Amino acid sequence: MKRYSRKRLQTKLRAHPRIAWRWLLLVVLLLAGLAVGYWLVMRSVSKSSLQVKKQYEQYYFADSKYKGVKSRFVRRESGNERVLLEYPVTGQEAIDRVTASAIDQADAAFRQSVAHGSQFPYLMTETASFQVTHHDKAYISIVITTRQDTLGAHPSFMTYFWTFDKTTGNIVTLRELAGGSDRAVQAVLDQAKKSITELLQQQSKPPLALGDFMSESVLRNFVIADRQTIAWPFGQGAILPSAYGDVTARVSVADIAAHIQNPLAKSLLSVPEPPKPKPQSPSSSTPQYIRPSTSADCATTKCVALTFDDGPGVHTNRLLDMLDGQGVKATFFVLGSQVQKHPGSLRRMQMSGHQIGNHSWGHPDLTHIDSAQVQREMINTNTVIQQATGHVPTIARPPYGAVNNEVLAQLAQAGLSSILWSVDTRDWADRDNQIICHRAVAGARAGAIILMHDIHATSVDAVPCIIDGLAKQGYSLVTIRQLLGATVPGAIYTSG
Ligand code: NI
């Protein structure tokens, strides 16, 4: 049949060459039409997905440090181990190699413990997660935390941190920051020691001879906390005995400015011009990070504060059902504009003993608007919170965590302290309750402040797993007030 018809067509075409041309033309037109159609469809698809993405980013992470940083998860589960490792993927091979090898080394030690086995019929567990503390066009600062529970006396925590040059993938060292100068290195070491000494005093802990703990090699890697502050998030048990808790050394750029007037330091940080001869109140002009003396309860038990931003929203009541059902207290940083829509949720938070903080009215970056606008954002929100609950908040979380001296001054005037966070669950980026739960539980340390958003269904879905995971590690879930005690207006807190 087929053969016959083809033959017939061929004879026909040979007999009428004009028909052959018409056929060819038809095929060409058809193909061209298909190509144009395909192009049009693809253009509209990519345009719409781009628009969605842009809108999403504008609202949630216009200033996000995680832009361009992805996660790679490795999971192992067997009769005697349960492992979930989250590796940062920046796309810069050299950086990804360094961060992965830190996790792999920790994991190799863990595998040995697993191979040796345990006399207990429990699973050995290991988690790794990461935080990006700073990220700009040229540099990125990454902190990796691992937790291994090999059924010894205590689970072990490890922290690894670096600032990378994104172009070369190289680690920026303290000596490079110091422009290669011994004197400058020493100046930074002195300031870092001073910050740890102050931390011990604030906690009324016995003083230690810090010279033994804080040498250039220990402080070789650092992170940028913000462009006015460098930090060494050593974690627990790395440089001081575990009993000293989570230890972070911080140095104000203003306090070492005279020593780091070099091009590299100036591209990394906002280094003020060489200080004028009068060295009066050198650090009063820089944001003041406060390490609080923890409240009575949290001095004896391990406390963690769950915080929820950007609400109240349509999922908030479901979240309150979960929290109240478990007797867990949390802190809500609410938007004034949202409080107007859901005043009932706010009353309920207040009645159940949760704490309410101010997250501005409309979620602007407060460092990009003028003082009068900052004042309006905060005061109007305080007012609606008071109308709904009868109480004026004392804590605020600036949108995106963005503050400068001017903003802090305005917050102080409104009677608000600035509560940032130590664990970012990135629940806006990964709408996956298991990933969110993993980040919260893996990142938790005594005194941790965990950042989430109750406007996403997946974040609320993650809460039972988080409560369970933290309870298993012996943490009490508390409000910011319970964690930090009374806070100072205008000061910044990142953890307890
Ligand atoms: Ni927010």
Q: Specify whether the CB–CB gap between 374 and 396 falls below 8 A.
A: no
- β-pairing, 417-419 vs 395-396, is parallel
Give every strand in the sheet of 81-89, ordered side by side: 70-77, 81-89, 124-135, 139-149, 156-165
Q: How confident is the model at residue 59 (pLDDT cuts 50, 70, 90)?
A: very low
Task: With 0.75 as the threshold, say if the pTM is over it.
Answer: yes
Residue with the two structure tokens 């902190």 = 143
User: In whole angstroms, what is the distance from residue 185 CA to residue 182 CA?
Assistant: 5
Q: Which residue has the higher pLDDT, 200 or 19?
A: 200
Interval 368-395: pLDDT, tens: 999 999 999 999 999 999 999 999 999 9
CA–centroid distance, residue 90 to ligand 1 (Å) = 24
CA–centroid distance, residue 366 to ligand 1 (Å) = 12
pLDDT at 279: 46
CA–centroid distance, residue 429 to ligand 1 (Å) = 13
Could you report how far apart the first and last alpha carbons of the chain are, in Å?
85
Side-chain half-sphere of 489: how many Cα atoms within 13 Å? 11
pLDDT at 239: 80
CA–centroid distance, residue 54 to ligand 1 (Å) = 17
Active site residues: 309, 453
* Token pair recorded at residue 387: 């109308």
CA–centroid distance, residue 389 to ligand 1 (Å) = 21
pLDDT at 11: 56
CA–centroid distance, residue 400 to ligand 1 (Å) = 6
CA–centroid distance, residue 238 to ligand 1 (Å) = 32
CA–centroid distance, residue 61 to ligand 1 (Å) = 9
Mean pLDDT of the chain: 86
Q: How confident is the model at residue 355 (pLDDT cuts 50, 70, 90)?
A: very high
